[in-house]
Amino acid sequence: MAALTLEHWLTRLKPGETPVFRHTKEALMKLAPRGEQLSAKEIAAPILADPLATLRVIFNANNRTNSRYNAEVTTVEHAILMQGVNVFLDKARDLPVMESTPQGRDKDILGSLYRLARLAQHAAWQARDFATLHHDMHADELQMGAVLYYAPEFLLWLDAPDIADQLAQLRRNMLSAEAEQNVLGFAMPPLRLMLLEAWKIPDGIRDLLDEKHADRARQIILKAALKISHRSRQGWWDTRLLESYQALSETIGLSMDDVIRTVHDNAIRVARTNNWVPAPPAAAWLPMQEGEWPQDSQRKSSPAIATPENKAADDEPHTVCPMPVKSVLDETIATLRSHQDDSLSLSQMLAIILKGLHSGLGLSRVLFALATPDGVRMKCRFTLGIPSGDPLRHFEFSLNSNDLFGLITRKMQGVWVNDENRGKLWPMVGPDLRAMIGRGDFYAMSLFANDRPIGLIYADRGHGDCELDSKTYNDFKVLCLEAAKGLSRVKSQ
């Protein structure tokens, strides 16, 4: 297909009457009886969760011939208001449904469209939220940019599914630009911009996706949102995610911890809001997040999250405990050993260590504390699987204290609190820390560099039915030893 030109694809993917997901149409029909009582924002929500519906609505709004309107329509809300709520909802009754088209009846094509929808929804949510945090008065435009970024892929799946499938297969084994060159004959960015122009998408939205403006704050936020969505689609351990976190931190002025916490919370919210999509959301790969998940087919296709609320298909309660993955542990240790220099930053090193603790050792709650610059206290710096608002996020103690944690920072050593030693060790934990931790088994180990304590790792599997074991404890100590070596040589503390 490399012989086909850009012009060929622009002609082939020209504007038309695109279908919408069945859920989108059903959602609009449920809203219709309320008519003028509805706000444009309420009606826009299900449309923005459907990239093809969004593309269709914006195209129709900007393709009007009525000369009374001169300004471009840049948002779905504006498009709805321009027509009038009742008129818009009345026209929605005639929308073609994706699942009733030949492509929609092909389960493989439909599955690919659902997965693309997940990517677009996630990116859009991240983009809008971080734009809002940046006090962007038009955060909804970044949301639109994220949704429409995926328009070429959607159109390819509808018009040329064989080409779309080739592209998807190659992207798994090579860089996207290289895969696009091999299949299409050119990279996607120029096609995307020209295609959106053909579909009457306003300049302001297209500029957000134009690489020429990559140094602008709005483009930085949108690019980070798109990369977060893409790189988290099968897990949160892609170290390149840190680049996006760092970009958002520097652009918006939030700490890295706040950025990461916000990203994770956004992933959960968008997954719960769009639980109608039968494809795993990125949030499915986050461990131990608080709150109940809707009981639908989504849960059956997502990896189990080890919380007491999880239920089997027959609603019989059970607990699914995280299991260690030896290959991940081995890979983590090998990576740490290969970076015993100053080639990694603190954030990059932490990402590697946390991946080993969670995926490699099956530890669902992990806390990483670092010594304060004055060397007086040990304070929580990074957590995984500990919900926002949990007191454990405020884990902190004096290095000179005589409680359990203060004592294990006298030299590099670990402790495993369990039923056999709880009577002796639990009273040694200060009352504030006991309240934070909760009564349950846990591992903890201090990290040393140059004969001084630099950090401490706390980890457990929750305080339910998921028990700790001696094999995992030994592996935990080995990983902590390698972590200490790596942290002693990071670029900065």
Task: State phi, psi for 449 to the nearest 5 degrees.
Answer: -145, 130
pLDDT tens, position by position, 316-342: 334 456 778 888 888 889 888 888 777
Rounded CA separation 475/468 (Å): 12
Query: Residue with structure tokens 């454990």?
Result: 392
Identify the pLDDT of residue 296.
Answer: 37
DSSP string for residues in 60-112: HHHT---TT--SPP-SHHHHHHHH-HHHHHHHHTTPPBGGGSTTTTSHHHHHH
Q: What local confidence, expressed as pLDDT, does residue 225 receive?
A: 97
Average pLDDT over residues 297-311: 32
Q: Looking at residue 177, what is its pLDDT?
A: 87
Lowest mean pLDDT among 19-23, 98-102, 321-325: 321-325
Q: In what order do the strands lie in the sheet with 452-460?
A: 396-398, 377-384, 365-371, 452-460, 442-449, 414-417
d(CA 128, CA 146): 9
Of the candidates 290, 434, 353, 475, the one whose C-alpha atom is nearest the C-alpha of residue 367 is: 353
Task: For the domain covering 1-277, report its CATH number.
Answer: 1.10.3210.10
Average pLDDT on 47-54 reads: 95
pLDDT, residue 80, reads: 92
How many helical (H) and strand (E) elements, i.e. helices and strands, does the chain have?
A: 23, 6
> What amino acid occupies position 276?
W
pLDDT exceeds cutoff 60 at 239: yes
**Span 240-252, pLDDT tens digits:** 898 999 999 999 9
Assess whether pLDDT exceeds 80 at residue 345.
no
CA angle 205, 131, 286 (to 5 degrees): 110
Q: What is the pLDDT of residue 390?
A: 83
Span 93-100, mean pLDDT? 95
Nearest by Cα to 36 from 81, 76, 103, 92: 81
User: What is the pLDDT, as a whole number, of residue 2?
Assistant: 43
**What is the predicted pLDDT for the residue at 386?**
82
- Token match 């990559």: residue? 214
Q: Please choose, from the candidates 188, 212, 144, 182, the residue with its C-alpha nearest in 3D space to the C-alpha of residue 13.
A: 188
CA atoms within 13 A on the CB side of 482: 23
- Would you state the pLDDT for residue 271? 92
Provide the 3-class DSSP secondary structure of residue 457. Answer: strand
Q: Is residue 25 scored above 70 in pLDDT? A: yes
pLDDT (average), residues 154-163: 94
- For the cut 90, the answer to whether the pLDDT of residue 257 exceeds it is no
Residue 69's pLDDT band, with cuts at 50, 70 and 90, is low
Which pairs count as long-range contacts for 168-175, CB under 8 Å and 24+ apart, including other chains?
Answer: 168/112
Tell me the average pLDDT across 336-352. Answer: 79
pLDDT at 70: 62
Say whether pLDDT at 281 is over 70.
Answer: yes
| CATH class name, domain 326-487 | alpha beta
CATH 3.30.450.40 segments of the chain: 326-487
Extract the tokens encoding 73: 């329509």
What is the distance between the alpha carbons of residues 486 and 479, in angstroms, rounded to a whole number?
Answer: 11
pLDDT confidence of residue 486:
86
Q: What is the mean pLDDT of the chain?
A: 86
Q: Give how far Cα 233 sits from Cα of 111, 121, 229, Å.
A: 14, 12, 6
Least confidently predicted of 118-122, 191-195, 220-224, 310-314: 310-314
pLDDT > 90: what percent of the chain? 56
Sequence ranges of the chain with CATH classification 1.10.3210.10: 1-277
Check pLDDT > 50 for residue 457.
Answer: yes
Place of tokens 């954030």: 347
Model confidence at 491, pLDDT cuts 50, 70, 90, reads low
In the predicted model, what is the mean pLDDT of residues 454-476?
88
- The H-or-E segment that residue 444 falls in is strand 442-449
- Cα-based angle 457, 459, 460 (whole degrees, multiple of 5): 170
pLDDT value of position 235: 82
Comparing C-alpha atoms, which of 212, 17, 145 is closest to residue 136? Answer: 145
Query: Which pLDDT score is estimated for 3?
Result: 52
Q: Which of 2-6, 39-43, 411-415 has the highest mean pLDDT?
A: 411-415
CB–CB of 139/279 below 8 Å? no
**Angle formed at CA 328 by CA 327 and CA 330, multiple of 5 degrees:** 65
The per-residue pLDDT for range 166-217, each reduced to its tens digit, is 998 888 888 888 888 889 888 899 999 999 999 999 999 999 999 898 889 9
- pLDDT for residue 127: 96
